Amino acid sequence: MSKKIISWQQYFMGVAKLSAHRSKDPNTQVGACIVSPENKIVGVGYNGLPWGCEDDKFPWQAREGDLYDTKYPYVVHAELNAILNSIGDLKGCTIYVSLFPCHECVKAIIQSGIKEIIYEDEKYKGTDSDRAAKRMLDAAGVKYTKIPAFELNSL
């Protein structure tokens, strides 16, 4: 009986999705995995609070109301965490992310030299943030590709 071997895309997206499970966000858990042109993982991240900020001392549930009382000013997105946690130069790398990046993360992706984004979900497709992100990516020549959702337990 032969065993099915997953593709590089499935492998790296699997790492990104596994990383997402570290997030304490009760609504949207996102993971990211940065890969060199030689298929080596050089950075991994998930959406969470900055180091030293205790999860139980910040608002995770609130998504509406005064900005100060919501999660939004405190959470570091998966893509930025992967960039900040990376080792070495990111020029020419690919980032695998479970959710298409917001416009703020796209700025960091472009500035870091990442050349391609591979993603599964487009939860915010068509929003102003999504449109701005794609406008910047197109202008900077950064490729972005949606791939079908993949579950390891489907093997």
Known binding residues for Zn(2+): 77, 102, 105
Are the C-beta atoms of residues 117 and 141 closer than 8 Å to each other? no
**Which residue do the tokens 């449109």 mark?**
131
Query: Is 116 an annotated catalytic residue?
Result: no
Q: Which is the catalytic residue, given 54, 79, 116, 151?
A: 79
* DSSP string of 52-109, one letter each residue: T--GGGS-SS--SSSGGGSSTTTPBPHHHHHHHT--S--TT-EEEEEEPPPHHHHHHH
* Catalytic (active-site) positions: 79
